[in-house]
Amino acid sequence: MSDATGAKGTDTRGTDTRGREGNAAYGKKPFKRSTSHFTDRITADGRDGWPVEAGRYRLVVSRACPWASRALVSRRLLGLEGALSLAVADPIQDERSWRFTLDPDSRDPVLGISFLSEAYDARETEYPGGVSVPAIVDVPSGKLVTNDYQRITLDLATEWTALHRPGAPDLYPEPLRDEIDEVMEGIYLDVNNGVYRAGFATRQSDYERAYRDVFRRLDLVSERLAGQRYLVGDTITEADIRLFTTLVRFDAVYHGHFKCNRNKLTEDPVLQAYVKDLYQTPGFGDTVDFDHIKRHYYMVHTSVNPTAIVPLGPDLSGLLDPHHREELGGRPFGDGTPPGPVPAAEVVPPAGRP
């Protein structure tokens, strides 16, 4: 989730802004992230006017974005592919931000729009903020429902249960929610958001503070995971999803591009094994597209990388190597089962050598 001043105002919420004018501001002004603007919820009882309903909504993501990737993982694990359709934006934006140039005629085949901003404008005319993913759009009206990246996945886990696949895991178990929330808060402040505070810092002191926060928290997480397979309890939870989507990008973009370079993830045996374990778990690695990730970060953040050259490395094929985390016990899906095969239209290339 990148932040800058966009063509229609200041975006401090999500990935990303309205266009390359906004992208050029990355790293040129103090970094700050605020809450999402559109926070309506899609719930079982429809209390915000948006009831859970199969086929009614479309999830818009960029595979480059760690915040959107949370929703991709949750949707797969819960088996919501048939109930919540998927639109994937081009990782490279133009002056109107996220666009559907990966689709025939550069138009989303379900929403009939060329830019995600059209759904934002349908919801609020002349909305001054940025255009962020993940976003959920109401298909019948074409209006944006929510861009609340912190809430979307929690609601997929707890409000969409009637549409979950048989054997779907409980990603936000009620007895563990307080602990999950506490763990996620620290990870959000210091890791999920911390890498951005480092990468887009405009002052040396701000960068150094963020850098230290990132690695202090990663050291604590590594210590926690040395003796247990997952962050909370003995199954995969929302906390693991939120940590994974940052860690899987760490060596590819955050280590070099965002200067979080005390060490690579491959140099921390615990965290590397943890990421390999999750990457090889159905629903995680099969949603990750390193080509989208690298091209977005290195080509869009031109103030950080003015040449827009995309590095060939690192070698990511090690993510497919044995991890031995199963020796710690744990049950990835609890009493449930793994998700089924990836729909053919959503298959992404596996990690590999440059």
Per the residue annotation, which of 127, 149, 196, 211 is the catalytic one?
A: 196
Taking phi first (over 0 means left), then psi (-120 to 50 degrees means alpha), and beta for anything else, what does residue 217 get? alpha
Question: Of the residues 26, 57, 65, 260, which is catalytic?
Answer: 65
Question: Taking a C-beta distance cutoff of 8 angstroms, is the pair 16, 22 a contact?
Answer: yes
Provide the 3-class DSSP secondary structure of residue 245: helix
Catalytic, 127? Answer: no
Instruction: Give the separation between CA 254 and CA 318, rounded to whole angstroms.
Output: 18
| Whether the Cβ atoms of residue 79 and residue 157 lie closer than 8 Å to each other | no
- Give the whole-number percent of the chain exceeding pLDDT 70: 90
Reported confidence tier of residue 226, pLDDT bands at 50, 70, 90: very high
Distances (CA, A) of 34 to 71, 126, 139, 292: 19, 20, 27, 25
Q: Are 278 and 330 in contact (CB under 8 A)?
A: no
Q: Is 65 designated active site?
A: yes
Is the preceding peptide bond at 343 cis, omega within 30 degrees of 0?
no
pLDDT tens for residues 159-196? 999 999 999 999 999 999 999 999 999 999 999 999 99
116-153 pLDDT, tens digit per residue, is 999 999 999 988 788 999 999 999 999 999 999 999 99
